[in-house]
């Protein structure tokens, strides 16, 4: 069991890392934690979930009611995007799914298709403003994975990213790198139900 000093150190590093992320001084949790520990002269590193919890607190402190209004708005916008992409099995993921949005959050939607051009075409026909699109590759567990990323700017000024993955990935379960649980996300019908019953519902593992 950790002593109080150790817990306090973890909390301080987590808070500092969260500040770095919130102020956009860092974009990735790993770098934010390392920089925070270095700044505070500590060797201890909190988990990503601990940093996310502090980031959530900072957003609540700084943004208050406007944060809740933005979450509802972004979920409505996500539903509009997903409705246009219904043929591609869309899922809402990220902070808009979780209910942990802050002022720098965007909307993250995953779709599954062997034809990324068809996804792009559907968004253009749906009158969404596509600002850029590109292929992106990452190495996970020693395997190279590619996906097509489409970036949107919405009339509200909010941004969205649609990631096109191959059809065979549709049945895969992804472990969330922040919370450590399965990143199930929300389907179009599930999101519609959330908007109707509880637009501010949170999906955060404890």
- Tell me the pLDDT tens digit for each residue of 15-34: 999 999 999 999 999 999 99
- SS3 call for 100: coil
Say what the pTM is.
0.91
The alpha carbon torsion through 13, 19, 21, 23 (nearest 10 deg) reads -160
- Tell me the pLDDT tens digit for each residue of 99-131: 999 999 999 999 999 999 999 999 999 999 999
Contact 149, 136 (CB under 8 A): yes
Please calculate the CA angle 148-110-80 and round it to the nearest 5 degrees.
115
90 closest CA partner among 156, 26, 164, 172:
164
195 closest CA partner among 87, 72, 100:
72
Has residue 3 got a pLDDT over 80? no
Running DSSP on this structure, what letter comes out for residue 176? P
- Tell me the pLDDT tens digit for each residue of 68-94: 999 999 999 999 999 999 999 999 999
- Tell me the pLDDT tens digit for each residue of 39-49: 999 999 999 99
């Amino acid at each position: 069991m950790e002593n109080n000093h150790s817990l306090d150190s973890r909390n301080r590093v987590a808070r500092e890392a969260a500040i770095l992320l919130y102020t956009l001084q860092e974009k990735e949790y790993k770098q934010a934690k390392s920089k925070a520990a270095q700044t505070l002269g500590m060797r201890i590193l909190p988990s990503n979930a601990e940093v996310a919890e502090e980031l959530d607190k900072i957003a609540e402190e700084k943004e208050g009611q406007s944060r809740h209004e933005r979450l509802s708005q972004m979920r409505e916008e996500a539903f509009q995007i997903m409705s246009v992409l219904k043929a591609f099995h869309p899922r809402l993921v990220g902070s808009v799914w979780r209910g942990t949005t802050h002022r720098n959050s965007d909307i993250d939607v995953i779709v599954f298709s062997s034809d990324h051009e068809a996804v792009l075409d559907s968004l253009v026909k749906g009158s969404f403003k596509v600002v850029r699109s590109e292929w992106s590759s990452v190495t996970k567990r020693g395997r190279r994975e590619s996906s097509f990323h489409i970036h949107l700017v919405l009339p509200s000024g909010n941004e969205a990213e649609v990631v096109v993955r191959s059809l065979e990935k549709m049945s895969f379960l992804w472990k969330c790198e922040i919370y450590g649980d399965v990143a199930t996300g929300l389907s179009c019908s599930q999101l519609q139900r959330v908007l109707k019953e509880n637009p501010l519902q949170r999906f955060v593992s404890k």
